[in-house]
Copies of this chain bind each other. A is one copy, B any other.
């Protein structure tokens, strides 16, 4: 099952996929966003063996996406909650959902939808904009590799945290 690790890659996409790039991992994260926190709930939702689920949950805890907390019901087991790092995956889940809605269903075929809790209004599309607020397409962008153009870390971090 194990493939070449990308944990040393210079590409952030590769590193992200090193942590979350398999079928079950993002579905567990999806269910955690839906409010699931117990092993048995994830298992019922995903229809997955205890062994595989245990391994995936352990991986998610080890890389800091989920944390184990005392259970709400006071039982002997623990619950799994998204950390801040896990919660930051939300745009990726929304992106997967919106792409899936558009490209993976026949016209008229029913599917779940994501709405604002207070209003019931459907969530609008993820936006990627240029500096002047215009929609940004892939062809308008390019990746600067580390080797080709050394990254100025100080400025980069500052921009990232702005």
- The number of chain A residues with a CB under 8 A from chain B is 86
Kindly report how many copies of this chain are found in the complex they form together.
Answer: 2
Task: Kindly report which residue of chain B lies nearest to residue A30, judged by CB atoms.
Answer: B13
The answer to whether A116 touches B140 (Cβ under 8 A) is yes
In the bound complex, how far is the Cα of B89 from the Cα of A102, in angstroms? 11
Task: Kindly report which residue of chain B lies nearest to residue A46, judged by CB atoms.
Answer: B4
A16 on the interface (CB 8 Å rule)? yes
Kindly supply a per-residue 1/0 record for chain A positions 125-162, scoring 1 wherever the CB is within 8 Å of any chain B CB and 0 otherwise. Answer: 01111110000111111111110001101001101100
Contacts of A17 in B (CB 8 A): 23, 26-27, 96
The answer to whether B126 touches A95 (Cβ under 8 A) is yes
In the bound complex, how far is the Cα of B104 from the Cα of A23, in angstroms? 20
Smallest beta-carbon distance A12→chain B, Å: 3
Contacts of A113 in B (CB 8 A): 143-144, 151, 156
The answer to whether B15 touches A27 (Cβ under 8 A) is no
Task: Kindly report which residue of chain B lies nearest to residue A156, judged by CB atoms.
Answer: B113
A70 on the interface (CB 8 Å rule)? no
In the bound complex, how far is the Cα of B6 from the Cα of A22, in angstroms? 13
In the complex with contacts A108-B153, A113-B144, A142-B117, A94-B22 CB distance below 8 A: no
Chain A contact residues, CB within 8 Å of chain B: 3-4, 6-7, 10-19, 21-24, 26-27, 30, 33-34, 47-48, 64, 85, 87-105, 107-108, 110-119, 121-124, 126-131, 136-146, 150-151, 153, 156-157, 159-160
Q: A95-B126, A112-B144 are in contact. List 7 more A-B contacts (CB 8 A).
A: A11-B97, A11-B100, A12-B111, A15-B105, A17-B23, A91-B126, A123-B136
